[in-house]
C-alpha cells in the first residue's frame, strides 16, 4: 500500500527507484555496482570472509578454557556457537548472494543490506532472548566486513550514475533500476563521499534546508529530502520509492498512476534543463543593462568543470573544509592543500577562485566520531571556522601559505569565515602577512591576493564599515547570518519553519552590508543558499546586489531571472519591503 512521508525539500527534481537503507554506522561501507563478470568474484570474497570468521571463532573457542573457568567457558562457548550458526544461517548467506546476483551490489553493500532485512525480523520477534540476538548478528557482520576490508574488490572506481530517465520508470527487476539512499543522518563528508555514487536521490530523517548535508546534496543536483523524521524506520530495503525534491515528499510503494504522474514531471524537468542550457553563453545582463556576476560555490577541484559548463565567471566560494573532513585527525599538509588549490585554479582557466579558509565545527565536524552537537553544548556557537583557525596557528599558516602559493597559477581571492571581532580581523591579517613573509624567506612565488571577509554574524553586519576598512571585498553568508540573527539552528528540522530569509532583521542586515560596500566601492557578494534561490533573485537585485555565488546547478535558472529583471523598477519595491513589518507581503509584487 502506498504512503508518503513529508520532510524538507532541499534539492529539486524527481527520483524514482528502489530504496537502499544505510545505517549511520555503515556509511563508510563501499557502495558500488559490479560488472556481470565480477559477480562470482564478489560471492567468493564473501564466502572466504565468512570461512575466515568461522575459523577465527573456532580458534577462540579452543583457547577459551585457558582464559576462563568452567562456568565462563560454557557461557562464552555457547555464545560463539550462536555466532557460528548465524554466520552459516541460510537466510543471511542466501540473501546476501541474492543482492549480488540480482542487484550487482558489491559484497560489503550486499552484506549490510541483508543485515538490515534480517535485523528487522529480529526486532519483530516476541521472545526477548531471540530479539537480543540481533546484537550478535551485527557483531558477526562487523567481523566479516573487517576481513573483507583486507581483500578489496577489483573495482576501484564506483561507476558514475547516469541521471534516471523516464525509461527507468518501468517496474522491471533489472539491475539498472535507479537507487535512492535512505539514512537516518548523513554528515556533509558522508554526502561528499556519495558524490560520484550510484544514487539517484537522498532522504534523511534529520537535517534542515541549509544544513551542510543539504548543501552538498544540492551541489550534486540530485533530488533530496531531509528532515523526513522516521523515513529510515518505515522504508524497507528495496521498496519502490519516489522522491519529490520540490515538495519535500517521499512516496513509498507508489501506485501506477503516481508513477506515471511523476514520470511525466521528471520528463518535464529534463526539458526545462535543456532549455536553460541554451543560456550558458548569454551574458548576465538585466533589462536595464546592469552586469551581474554569477559565480559558483564548489567543494572540490573536480567541481570546477561543472561550474564552467554552466558559464560561471569564477568561483565565489571554495569550501576548503571538505579537504579536512573525515581524515581521522590526519589533516592535509601544506603540499597536499597547495596541489588541491592549484588544481582548482588551473581548472578554472584564468577565472578568479575565492578560497575560503577552513570552516569546520558545528555541522561540519572533522570526523564522524565527533559529530557536532554530541560533545559540545552548542557547536554552532563554539570553536568553529576562523575561531578554530586562530586556535591552531600551525595549521592556519600552512593553509594560508598553500592558498598564496596557488595564486601564482591564476587569480585567487582569500575569504575568511565567521569573523566578529576587530581583534580577530587583526590577528588574521597578521597571519596572512606572516605567511607571505615565510614564502618570501623560502623564495616561493605567489601572486596578488585580495582578502575578503564573510559577513555571517550579525555583529559583523552591524560593524560593516569597520570591516570595509580592513578588507578588499565582502561576501554575505546568509545561511549563518539567518541562523545567528534569528537564533535558529540551521540543522534542526524542528525549527526549520522559523528559518525566514524575509525576516525584517535579516533584510536590514543584508541591505546595510550591500549599501556600505557600494559606498566604499568595494565588491559585495552573497554566497549563502539565498543566492541560488530564484525566488530571491529579484529582491537581491533590488537591494543592489550585483554578485551572486551559488551551486553550479542553480546558475542558469538565476541567470534567467536576471535577464527578465529591471533593477530600476526593483529598487523601490525592495526599499518598500525593507520598511515593511511583513516584507514577504510587500514582496508579493515581485512575483
421 is catalytic: no
Nearer to ligand PEP, 225 or 380 (CB): 380
- CA distances to 294, 517, 566 from 291, rounded to whole Å, are 10, 17, 11
- Of the ranges 264-272, 389-397, 478-486, 506-514, which one interacts with Mg ion (CB under 5 A)? 478-486
All 3 cell numbers of residue 26?
555503515
Out of 456, 492, 493, 533, the only residue in the binding site for ligand PEP (CB under 6 A) is 456
Q: Say whether residue 489 binds ligand PEP (CB under 6 A).
A: no
Q: Any idea how long the chain is?
A: 591
Residue 310's SS3 state is coil
At residue 385, the 3 state secondary structure works out as coil
Among 50, 319, 342, 368, binds ligand PEP (CB under 6 A): 319
Q: What are phi and psi of 10, to 5 degrees?
A: -120, -20
Residue 456 interacts with Mg ion (CB under 5 A): yes or no: yes
The minimum distance between CB 549 and ligand PEP, in angstroms, equals 8
Question: What part of residues 176-215 is at the interface with ligand PEP (CB under 6 A)?
Answer: 215
According to DSSP, the residues that pair with 296 across neighbouring strands are: 315, 550
CB atoms within 10 A of CB 85: 12
How far is Cα 530 from Cα 577, in angstroms, rounded to an integer? 17
Instruction: For residue 69, give every residue at least 6 positions away whose Cβ sits within 8 Å of its Cβ, in sequence order, or none.
Output: none
477 sits near ligand PEP (criterion: CB under 6 A): yes
- Which of these ranges, 229-237, 288-296, 391-399, 451-459, lies near Mg ion under the rule CB under 5 A? 451-459
Applying CB under 5 A, does 185 fall inside the site for Mg ion?
A: no
Number of residues that bind ligand PEP (CB under 6 A): 11
Q: Taking a C-beta distance cutoff of 8 angstroms, is the pair 8, 207 a contact?
A: yes
Q: Which is nearer to Mg ion, 190 or 480 (CB)?
A: 480
458 binds Mg ion (CB under 5 A): no
DSSP secondary structure letters along 114-135? HHHHHHHHHHT-SSHHHHHHHH
Phi/psi for 527 (5° steps) reads -120, 5
> Judged by CB under 5 A, does residue 489 bind Mg ion?
no
Say which of 31, 83, 184, 212 is annotated catalytic. 212
The site for Mg ion, by CB under 5 A, has a size of: 3
- Distance, in Å, from the CA atom of 200 to the CA atom of 242, rounded to the nearest integer, reads 10
Collapse the DSSP code of 61 into the 3-class scheme (helix H, G, I; strand E, B; otherwise coil) and give the result: helix
363 binds Mg ion (CB under 5 A): no
**Per-residue x/- marks for ligand PEP, 320-359, CB under 6 A?**
---------------------------------------x
Piece in contact with ligand PEP (CB under 6 A), picked from 458-466, 477-485, 514-522, 557-565: 477-485
Q: Is 551 a catalytic residue?
A: no
Asked if residues 9 and 225 have their Cβ atoms less than 8 Å apart, the reply is yes
Q: Which residues bind ligand PEP (CB under 6 A)?
A: 215, 317, 319, 359, 456, 477-480, 527-528
Binding residues vs Mg ion (CB under 5 A)? 456, 477, 480
Residues with catalytic annotation? 212, 527
Amino acid at each position: 500500500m502506498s504512503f508518503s512521508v513529508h520532510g524538507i525539500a532541499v534539492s529539486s527534481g524527481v527520483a524514482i527507484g528502489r530504496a537502499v537503507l544505510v545505517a549511520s554506522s555503515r556509511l563508510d561501507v563501499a557502495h558500488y555496482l559490479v560488472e556481470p563478470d565480477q559477480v562470482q568474484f564478489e560471492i567468493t570474497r564473501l564466502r572466504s570472509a565468512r570461512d575466515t570468521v568461522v575459523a577465527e571463532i573456532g580458534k577462540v573457542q579452543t583457547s577459551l578454557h585457558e582464559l576462563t573457568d568452567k562456568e565462563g567457558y560454557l557461557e562464552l562457548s555457547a555464545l560463539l556457537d550462536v555466532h557460528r550458526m548465524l554466520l552459516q544461517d541460510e537466510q543471511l548467506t542466501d540473501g546476501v548472494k541474492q543482492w549480488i546476483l540480482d542487484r550487482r551490489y558489491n559484497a560489503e553493500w550486499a552484506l549490510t543490506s541483508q543485515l538490515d532485512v534480517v535485523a528487522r525480523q529480529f526486532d519483530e520477534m516476541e521472545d526477548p532472548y531471540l530479539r537480543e540476538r540481533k546484537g550478535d548478528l551485527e557483531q558477526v557482520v562487523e567481523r566479516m566486513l573487517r576481513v573483507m576490508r583486507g581483500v578489496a574488490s577489483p573495482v576501484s572506481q564506483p561507476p558514475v550514475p547516469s541521471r534516471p530517465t523516464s525509461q527507468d520508470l518501468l517496474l522491471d527487476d533489472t539491475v539498472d533500476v535507479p537507487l535512492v539512499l535512505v539514512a537516518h543522518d548523513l554528515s556533509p563528508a558522508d554526502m561528499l563521499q556519495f558524490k560520484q555514487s550510484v544514487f539517484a536521490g537522498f532522504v534523511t530523517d534529520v537535517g534542515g534546508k541549509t544544513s551542510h548535508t543539504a548543501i552538498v546534496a544540492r551541489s550534486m543536483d540530485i533530488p533530496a529530502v531531509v528532515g523526513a523524521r522516521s523515513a529510515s524506520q518505515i522504508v524497507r530495503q528495496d521498496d519502490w520509492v519516489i522522491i519529490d525534491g520540490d515538495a519535500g515528499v517521499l512516496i513509498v510503494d507508489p501506485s501506477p498512476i503516481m508513477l506515471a504522474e511523476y514520470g511525466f514531471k521528471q520528463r518535464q524537468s529534463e526539458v526545462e534543463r535543456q532549455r536553460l542550457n541554451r543560456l550558458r553563453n548569454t551574458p548576465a545582463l538585466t533589462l536595464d543593462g546592469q552586469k551581474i556576476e554569477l559565480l559558483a560555490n564548489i567543494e572540490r577541484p573536480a567541481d570546477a568543470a561543472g561550474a564552467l559548463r554552466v558559464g560561471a565567471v569564477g568561483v565565489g566560494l571554495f569550501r576548503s573544509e571538505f579537504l579536512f573532513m573525515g581524515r581521522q585527525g590526519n589533516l592535509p599538509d601544506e603540499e597536499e592543500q597547495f596541489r588541491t588549490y592549484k588544481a582548482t585554479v588551473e581548472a578554472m582557466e584564468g577565472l578568479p577562485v575565492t578560497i575560503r579558509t577552513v570552516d569546520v565545527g558545528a555541522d561540519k565536524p572533522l570526523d564522524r566520531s565527533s559529530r557536532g552537537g554530541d560533545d559540545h553544548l552548542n557547536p554552532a556557537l563554539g570553536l568553529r571556522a576562523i575561531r578554530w583557525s586562530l586556535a591552531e596557528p600551525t595549521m592556519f599558516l600552512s593553509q594560508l601559505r598553500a592558498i598564496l602559493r596557488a595564486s601564482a597559477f591564476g587569480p585567487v581571492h582569500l575569504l575568511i569565515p565567521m569573523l566578529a571581532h576587530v581583534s580577530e580581523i587583526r590577528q588574521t591579517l597578521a597571519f596572512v602577512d606572516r605567511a607571505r613573509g615565510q614564502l618570501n624567506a623560502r623564495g616561493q612565488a605567489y601572486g596578488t591576493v585580495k582578502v575578503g571577509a564573510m559577513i555571517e554574524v550579525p555583529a559583523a553586519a552591524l560593524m560593516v564599515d569597520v570591516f570595509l576598512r580592513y578588507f578588499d571585498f565582502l561576501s554575505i553568508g546568509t545561511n549563518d547570518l539567518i541562523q545567528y540573527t534569528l537564533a535558529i539552528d540551521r540543522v534542526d528540522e524542528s525549527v526549520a519553519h522559523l528559518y525566514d530569509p524575509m525576516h525584517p532583521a535579516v533584510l536590514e542586515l543584508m541591505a546595510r552590508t550591500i549599501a556600505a560596500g557600494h559606498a566604499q566601492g568595494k565588491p559585495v557578494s552573497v554566497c549563502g543558499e539565498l543566492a541560488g534561490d530564484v525566488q530571491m533573485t529579484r529582491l537581491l537585485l533590488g537591494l543592489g546586489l550585483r554578485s551572486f555565488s551559488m551551486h553550479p546547478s542553480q546558475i542558469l535558472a538565476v541567470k534567467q531571472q536576471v535577464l527578465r529583471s529591471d533593477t530600476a523598477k526593483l529598487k523601490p519595491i525592495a526599499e518598500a519591503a525593507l520598511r515593511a513589518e511583513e516584507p514577504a507581503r510587500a514582496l508579493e509584487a515581485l512575483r
